[in-house]
Amino acid sequence: MDGDNGVVEEVLVARTSRRTEAEPWNAQSPDNSAQNRLLIKGGRVVNDDMMQDADVYIEDGIIKQVGLNLHTPGGTKVIEAKGHLVIPGGIDTHTHMQLPFMGTFAVDDFYTGTRAALAGGTTMIMDFALPDRGESLVEAYHRWRSWADPKVCCDYALHVGVTWWSDKVGREMQELTEEHGVNSFKMFMAYKDTWQLNDSELLASFKTCKQLGALAQVHAENGDIIKENSRKLLSLGITGPEGHEMSRPEEVEAEATNRACVLANQVGCPLYICKVMGASAASVIGEHLRRGVLVWGETIAAAVGTDGSHHYNPCWQHAAAHVTSPPLRDPSTPDKLLRLLDVGDLQTTGTDNCTFSASQKALGKDDFTKIPNGVNGVEDRMSVLWEKGVVAGKMDPCRFVAVTSTNAAKIFNIYPKKGRIAVGSDADIVVWNPHATRVISAKTHYQAVDFNVFEGMEVHGVADYVICRGRVVVEEGNVRAVSGMGKFVPKLPHSQHVYGRIEERDRANAPHKVERAAYDGPVASLNGPAPSSAVEDSIIPASSQEFYTRGPTRSGGVNLHDSSFHVSGAQVTDKSPKRPSVKVNNPPGGKASGSFW
């Protein structure tokens, strides 16, 4: 490629990648000047809404030109991308790097986790600051920042957990939204006695999110049922990983998903369901979507790349390695979730990457409720979605880009800075080799964890080059991650994609009172004896014969030979201040046994 001045530039050819030992984490990146100007030439640019054969010119970390026959200055480094796709860097909406959890820490930290992300074509993660119950949300946010900022190799954002509720929590949500670049808050409906919120706390959190223009997220499982089921299973001697899925079957996830949708809708708050694992929960989301509820659904790589049959593997370690919450579901689920990703009932894919080594999982060797929950995914998400989605003919490359990157950028209000190959967007780009294959294995992956739930899977789709803020961080499959190079990306509230219709919607759905003349009839006295005529009126509505075959007695009272029951279970004496002592035990249709009917 000749630059303007005819000088032949350094040319890199995207070949089938190979994985070699990563550079030490503090390795210096190549010559900065060469990094400053980059041309990706000969590839096919894929955005969520279109594909085009085009070159991409990058300078100072920003995409400056997209098109053909571009004029580029001297000193430009060229990546030959012929036969490759040029896609927006993946955005993983759901990770937990070095999470303190269930008595230990997730083994992939913000360095190993983000280095692995880059290796697989993900250039941004969204992690969670999760305060302990009673802890300040703002302090938790700063603690996560202190962990991540020095280590991340790629850009990141934070969601913040609302793991308890008080007015102070509401005030801190406001501070985080207005001052710290947080626009999404996650409420847990599971993890009873630690992070679980009850319905009134969920309503308060959702109302606050609505006021702030933030997105409410939920972990949707019914924690009370899980606690009861776990107790029962353990009492039956079922202590293995199979008990994990048995304790929280699909309907336990679907119930919480539905409840969250109703609660959020009742306060007009947009809702994001994290980590949809079951087809039942996914169909609940689809039903609410088609009722006009503002709800988005995220699934994860493991949910479409593997399944819950592994809970029953005779090897305890293998089974425990698949324990995550909500759990992996039956083998028919991956196909269903992929279809729903394609048609739009589900919109994003994360990983819930929360990794624990075999010895950490063994904390639950005698009790499945003590197995640290979580699996890998951050490194393999893009290839798994490409293999199970595009290669399987279940989505096209544009939809792949949508569900792995663009939709997340739109929902979390960082579009088109992220999630698009366009002039002005960050140069977070993957030169994607759709034909190359690799075999996923813990023996070769970059992650720190000693297990991979996709072990042995051969996948098409390899990130030959990954560019992160304009710097080549993966070159022919060799990761050149630089710890601390990634940046925190603030997410502002009032995402147009999420809140764009809220004002008109609230106006259209606003309740209105009925204008009517005031009631001017008699009014009974509270808790006093009902005036006799009122009793007669309330007991024997003149217009209704629903309870009686004959009129009142001469004294105007109730004829006790008549049945006072109605099929609805209502009793004619329901309306009088206190019931007569006489109770009829033989309703129409026979003697009651145990209950009324």
230 is a site residue for ligand URQ (CB under 6 A): no
Q: Which of residues 119-158 bind ligand URQ (CB under 6 A)?
A: none
Consecutive H or E run containing 319: helix 316-320
Q: Which of residues 161-200 bind ligand URQ (CB under 6 A)?
A: none
Rg (CA), the chain: 30
Token pair of 126 as six digits: 């969204």
d(CA 562, CA 583): 12
Least distance from C-beta 203 to ligand URQ, angstroms?
21
Per-position x/- string for 318-357, each x denoting binding to Zn ion as judged by CB under 5 A, each - no binding: ----------------------------------x-----
Q: Which of 325, 347, 348, 425 is close enough to bind ligand URQ by CB under 6 A?
A: 325
The site partner of 77 among ligand URQ, Zn ion, none (C-beta below 5 to 8 Å per kind) is none
CB nearer to ligand URQ: give 25 or 105: 105
CB nearer to ligand URQ: give 14 or 148: 148
Beta strands per DSSP E along 346-457: 348-350, 429-439
CB nearer to ligand URQ: give 40 or 130: 130
Q: Which candidate, 196, 111, 102, places its Cα nearest to that of 154? A: 111
Q: Which of 35, 257, 373, 433 is close enough to bind ligand URQ by CB under 6 A?
A: 373
CB nearer to ligand URQ: give 373 or 406: 373
Least distance from C-beta 374 to ligand URQ, angstroms?
4
Token pair of 394 as six digits: 């279940």
CB nearer to ligand URQ: give 373 or 564: 373
Return the C-alpha torsion angle 259, 265, 269, 270, nearest 10.
80
Read off the amino acid at residue 519: Y
Residue number, nearest CB to Zn ion: 352
298 is a site residue for Zn ion (CB under 5 A): no
Q: Which of 324, 407, 433, 447 is close enough to bind ligand URQ by CB under 6 A?
A: 324
Least distance from C-beta 96 to ligand URQ, angstroms?
5
> Judging by beta carbons within 10 Å of its beta carbon (0-12, 13-18, 19+), is residue 553 exposed, middle or buried?
exposed
The site partner of 374 among ligand URQ, Zn ion, none (C-beta below 5 to 8 Å per kind) is ligand URQ
d(CA 135, CA 129): 11
Per-position x/- string for 208-227, each x denoting binding to ligand URQ as judged by CB under 6 A, each - no binding: -----------x--------
State the number of binding residues for ligand URQ (CB under 6 A): 9
Per-position x/- string for 267-306, each x denoting binding to ligand URQ as judged by CB under 6 A, each - no binding: ----------------------------------------
CB nearer to ligand URQ: give 56 or 116: 116
d(CA 540, CA 543): 8
φ, ψ for residue 370 (rounded to 5)? -105, 5
127 is a site residue for Zn ion (CB under 5 A): no
Q: Which of residues 335-354 bind ligand URQ (CB under 6 A)?
A: 352, 354
Name the DSSP class of 481: -
CB nearer to ligand URQ: give 226 or 282: 226
The site partner of 114 among ligand URQ, Zn ion, none (C-beta below 5 to 8 Å per kind) is none
DSSP string, 33-71: HHHHEEEEES-EEE-SS-EEE-EEEEETTEEEEEESS--
**Contact status, residue 440 vs residue 383, Cβ threshold 8 Å:** yes
Least distance from C-beta 230 to ligand URQ, angstroms?
15
Read off the amino acid at residue 292: G
Residue 525 CB: number of other CB atoms within 10 A? 10
CB nearer to ligand URQ: give 63 or 328: 328
Token pair of 280 as six digits: 């039942």
Q: Which residues contact 268 (CB under 8 A, 6 or more apart)?
A: 210, 502, 505, 506, 509
Least distance from C-beta 399 to ligand URQ, angstroms?
25
310 is a site residue for ligand URQ (CB under 6 A): no
d(CA 382, CA 462): 8
Cα 398 → chain centroid: 21
Which residues are bridge partners to 472 per DSSP?
Answer: 467
The site partner of 324 among Zn ion, ligand URQ, none (C-beta below 5 to 8 Å per kind) is ligand URQ
Estimate the crossing angle of helix 250-266 against helix 223-235, to 10 degrees. 160
Residue 14 CB: number of other CB atoms within 10 A? 26
The site partner of 325 among Zn ion, ligand URQ, none (C-beta below 5 to 8 Å per kind) is ligand URQ
d(CA 458, CA 93): 24
Q: Which of residues 65-124 bind ligand URQ (CB under 6 A)?
A: 96, 101
CB nearer to ligand URQ: give 240 or 350: 350
Name the DSSP class of 387: I
Residue number, nearest CB to ligand URQ: 373
CB nearer to ligand URQ: give 22 or 354: 354
d(CA 458, CA 455): 9
CB nearer to Zn ion: give 375 or 481: 375
d(CA 449, CA 321): 10
Which residues bind to Zn ion, rule: CB under 5 A? 352
Which residues bind to ligand URQ, rule: CB under 6 A? 96, 101, 219, 324-325, 352, 354, 373-374
